[in-house]
Chain A
Amino acid sequence: MASGKPNSNAAGGNGSGGPVTFLEAIKQAMFEEMERDPAVVVIGEDVGVYGGAFKTSEGLLERFGWERVIDTPISESAIIGAACGMSYLGLRPICEMQFIDFIACCFNQLTNFVAKGHYLWNAPAPIVVRGPSGGGVHGGPFHSANPEMYFVHTPGLKVIYPSTPYDAKGLLKAAVRDNNPVLFFEHKFLYRRIKEELPAEDYTLPIGKAAVRREGRHLTILSYAAMMHTSLEAAEALAKEGIEAEVIDLRTLLPLDEETILQSVKKTNKVLVVHEDTKTGGIAGEIAALLCEKAFGDLDGPLMRVTSLDTPVPYAPTLEDYFLPNAQKVFAAAKELARY
């Protein structure tokens, strides 16, 4: 553990307390980056005194002070705008969206100002925009969204959506050190439901690299975030029926790791994409186009997809359960695909 860190839970720390949650991994990443580099600041709603709605910035204010942990008014455009301006002087702000759904409020600032700056006038904006996303927790239509594809369609941004604490920490640190604006989605369903032992030493993971989570030869399941775990669960069930699914965790959606995808398709010849995002305009469509362009001859069956419905995220548990993909749906689609 780096010297000078208080050993309370509130102040993060790493490698000493056994497996940590996804939340804790996020907290550790921010804490360690702020320790490492005084150019790193945190800005958002309730990130200071309160420590963030999900407590991801708990202890940061006490440790780093008011200049580096900036509580803002409820003004998402001001958060992104100010972070962008700060980055022009060499700072590396981490912006928190209290819920990622609210990123819609600063859509213009992100897509028109931040994303275009480097291309148009050679102005890099090294900012990170992170926040809790995704459903399955009965948050209703405004606290459950997966808005990643709006931004995957925006040249100039990078989009990360990890599925494990280890990846979350390594990729968030990489995002802070990247010279480009990076959107970092954290699936809130995973926040406390998944634990992992993290290395004691400083590490980053490369942005734009997928990970093979399970090797298989009959078909490839491409997924990310919470659905990666759903896909793994389905893969276990498929294995019992003699179908070996390869499960790939995309981790980064922009840029997409084409190489890993294409390699797997060469091996399995069948692709199922599983995402919690709604169907139309989701990453599955983009992957289908990619495979048509670059791996048409490798395909032995149609690209299939299991996604959420093309509706807002409904509130009632019965409705939301119906709306979301689950292991059974993935299992059924994979069995159908395997028949080709």
Chain B
Amino acid sequence: MNRPPSVGERMKKGLTRQQYLDLYHYMRLNRAVEDTMVKLFRQNKIVGGLYSSLGQEAISVGSAYALEKKDWLAPMIRNIGALLVKGVPPRDIFMQHMAKYDSPTKGKDGTSHFGDLDNLHIVSPISMLGDLIPVMAGVAIAGRYLGQKIVAMTWIGDGGSSTGVFHEGLNFAATQKAPFVLILENNLWAYSTPVRRQVPLENLADRAKAYGIHSYIVDGNDVVAMYKTAKEAVDRARAGEGPILIEAKTFRRLGHAQHDPAEYVPKEMRAYWEARDPILLYEKFLMSEKLLDAKSKKEMEGKIDALLQKEREFAENSPMPPAEFAAEGVYCTGDDCHKIQPKWERDKREVMPPKSSVSAVWTVEGFGAGKGSSGGIAPIHFGDTAGAQEKAENEDKLAPKSPVKTVGKKSAKVASARGAGALRRRSKASGDK
């Protein structure tokens, strides 16, 4: 049996120098942003919880880097790196956590719970896991409908893959062949519960079989592999191959959030993964390939430090939202609030009659014609059985005798109102079912 290629060997080939350095930059930025937030947290400047993606940066960065500007993504709490790649300034992330008025949600929500429909094409997550999957499937099919040729991407954890909506969403996306890429970030822990207690599968990518979709398994600590895999998946999804599931194997280095020391994690497990830090692995590769040296590394670190210093100052100087702002913004008040207009990139006439008209892919006699196969009215549901319908029709014929009730400006014939008499009549009709 051949020796599998080492991480360094796998990383070679295929990327431009700039792409290699971009991936490095975003991973470093991701980690530096989170390091800064740990400091802010310890200074009590972060209002709520703080979640870490320490050791998982390669997944967020490598996958989001595979998207084009027009594509859509929806992050989970450990995908700060994806937001940075998509173009979110670090100050927004700081201010979100600090509940500041200049934050994207103006203090109404925290963490990575924010989005941008108009420019960056980011959908905000909610805390309930899996809900983003059907939403992003919807984004994907809407993009296809409008002719935009976009791909939608989101992430889910090993824990979140146990939710019902994971199944509903991915199955629906599969039936629609939606241009949708789902990154299943298997970090081995769902809060304190190890993956073995959640899923009786060796590889969570096997879930794809249940939906008849393509899947990949990738080393989530190898940023180049992550990028290449995601790029291939994004290309295939865009080409119309349907949804693609990527399982990225990794490890959650810190607890569920800052409050959790994660003492339930075995020491050896932690040590194993700490030795496989994605940034250190990648740095080693870049140095050996002469894409990075001590000087350029220091230069990049300096730039990131300076940037974050500025961003942090801005965030700290932003005010808390004014208290009364809590009462605002529950509803969209109309065009002055949001002008909702789809961006058509195909001829609208294609989806309007008569061009949109189709004959059914299959036909069942009587269906869609209002007629049953017997030639009578197609039987439908409770209260509308054939008998009840005939009855209603007979009553219609008797309309002049029925009481005519005045309803608003229009006259309405109430064929059978809800008096005791009506109930008796219906009791009889129910025997027709």
Mask of A35-68 contacts with B, CB within 8 angstroms, 1/0: 1001101000000111101110011011111111
Mask of A126-139 contacts with B, CB within 8 angstroms, 1/0: 10000010001111
Q: Tell me if B426 and A137 are in contact (CB < 8 A).
A: yes
Q: Tell me if A317 and B172 are in contact (CB < 8 A).
A: no
| Cross-interface CB contact of B419 among A84, A166, A326, cutoff 8 Å | A326
Interface presence of A15 (CB below 8 A):
no
| Cross-interface CB contact of A91 among B140, B142, B407, B412, cutoff 8 Å | B142
Interface presence of B157 (CB below 8 A):
no
Determine how close the nearest CB of chain A comes to the CB of B48; give it in whole angstroms. Answer: 14
Q: Tell me if A82 and B334 are in contact (CB < 8 A).
A: no
Interface presence of B171 (CB below 8 A):
yes
Among B14-22, B108-116, B190-198, B235-243, the stretch that binds chain A is B108-116
Interface presence of B411 (CB below 8 A):
yes
Contacts of A214 in B (CB 8 A): 406
| Cross-interface CB contact of B124 among A59, A67, A92, A121, cutoff 8 Å | A121
Contacts of A213 in B (CB 8 A): 406-408
Which of B409, B413, B418 has its CB near the most chain A CB atoms (within 10 A)?
B418
Q: Tell me if B143 and A89 are in contact (CB < 8 A).
A: yes
Q: Tell me if B109 and A120 are in contact (CB < 8 A).
A: yes
Please judge, given known A-B contacts A119-B330, A137-B426, whether A61 and B360 are in contact too, CB under 8 Å. Answer: yes
Contacts of B175 in A (CB 8 A): 72-73
Q: Tell me if A166 and B342 are in contact (CB < 8 A).
A: no
Q: Tell me if A88 and B383 are in contact (CB < 8 A).
A: no
Q: Tell me if A327 and B420 are in contact (CB < 8 A).
A: yes
Complex Cα gap A66–B414 (Å):
36
Which residue of chain A has its CB nearest to the CB of B328? A119
Interface presence of A338 (CB below 8 A):
no
Considering only CB atoms and an 8 Å cut-off, how many residues of chain A contact the other chain? Answer: 104
Determine how close the nearest CB of chain B comes to the CB of A2; give it in whole angstroms. Answer: 10
Chain B, range 389-429, C-beta contacts under 8 Å to A: 389, 392, 395-396, 399, 403, 405-420, 423, 426-427
Q: Tell me if B128 and A108 are in contact (CB < 8 A).
A: yes
Please judge, given known A-B contacts A82-B134, A85-B134, whether A123 and B117 are in contact too, CB under 8 Å. Answer: yes
Among B161-169, B217-225, B268-276, the stretch that binds chain A is B161-169
Q: Tell me if A35 and B419 are in contact (CB < 8 A).
A: no
Complex Cα gap A123–B152 (Å):
17
Complex Cα gap A124–B341 (Å):
12
Among A110-118, A261-269, A285-293, the stretch that binds chain B is A110-118
Q: Tell me if A108 and B427 are in contact (CB < 8 A).
A: no
| Cross-interface CB contact of B420 among A61, A80, A167, A326, cutoff 8 Å | A326
Determine how close the nearest CB of chain A comes to the CB of B240; give it in whole angstroms. Answer: 14
Please judge, given known A-B contacts A65-B357, A82-B172, whether A139 and B382 are in contact too, CB under 8 Å. Answer: yes
Q: Tell me if B104 and A179 are in contact (CB < 8 A).
A: no
Q: Tell me if A85 and B414 are in contact (CB < 8 A).
A: no
Contacts of A38 in B (CB 8 A): 344, 348, 351-352
Determine how close the nearest CB of chain A comes to the CB of B124; give it in whole angstroms. Answer: 5
Which residue of chain B has its CB nearest to the CB of A212? B408
Q: Tell me if A156 and B408 are in contact (CB < 8 A).
A: no
Contacts of A120 in B (CB 8 A): 105, 108-109, 113-114, 124
Interface presence of A217 (CB below 8 A):
no
Considering only CB atoms and an 8 Å cut-off, how many residues of chain B contact the other chain? Answer: 103
Q: Tell me if A62 and B341 are in contact (CB < 8 A).
A: no
Please judge, given known A-B contacts A53-B381, A120-B108, whether A179 and B340 are in contact too, CB under 8 Å. Answer: yes
Among B33-41, B258-266, B366-374, the stretch that binds chain A is B366-374
Interface presence of A197 (CB below 8 A):
yes
Contacts of B109 in A (CB 8 A): 120-121
Q: Tell me if B168 and A73 are in contact (CB < 8 A).
A: yes
Mask of B125-138 contacts with A, CB within 8 angstroms, 1/0: 01110011111111
Q: Tell me if A49 and B419 are in contact (CB < 8 A).
A: no
Interface presence of B384 (CB below 8 A):
yes
Complex Cα gap A137–B388 (Å):
10
Q: Tell me if A90 and B341 are in contact (CB < 8 A).
A: yes
Please judge, given known A-B contacts A67-B356, A188-B383, whether A55 and B338 are in contact too, CB under 8 Å. Answer: no
New A-B contacts (12) at CB < 8 Å, excluding given A122-B338, A193-B415: A19-B413, A38-B352, A66-B361, A81-B134, A85-B141, A91-B145, A118-B330, A121-B108, A123-B123, A137-B382, A143-B382, A166-B410
The 4 closest A-B pairs by CB, nearest first: A85-B138, A81-B134, A137-B383, A90-B342
Instruction: Give A residues with C-beta under 8 Å from B.
Output: 4, 9-10, 19, 35, 38-39, 41, 48-51, 53-55, 58-59, 61-68, 70, 72-73, 75-93, 108-109, 112-113, 116-124, 126, 132, 136-139, 143, 155-156, 158, 163-167, 179-180, 188-189, 191-198, 211, 213-214, 226-227, 229-230, 232-233, 236, 317, 321, 324-328
Q: Please, could you name 22 A-B residue pairs with CB atoms under 8 Å apart, sorted by A?
A: A38-B351, A39-B342, A51-B368, A54-B381, A63-B356, A80-B134, A81-B137, A85-B123, A88-B139, A88-B142, A89-B139, A91-B146, A119-B108, A120-B108, A121-B105, A136-B423, A188-B382, A194-B413, A196-B412, A213-B407, A232-B417, A324-B423
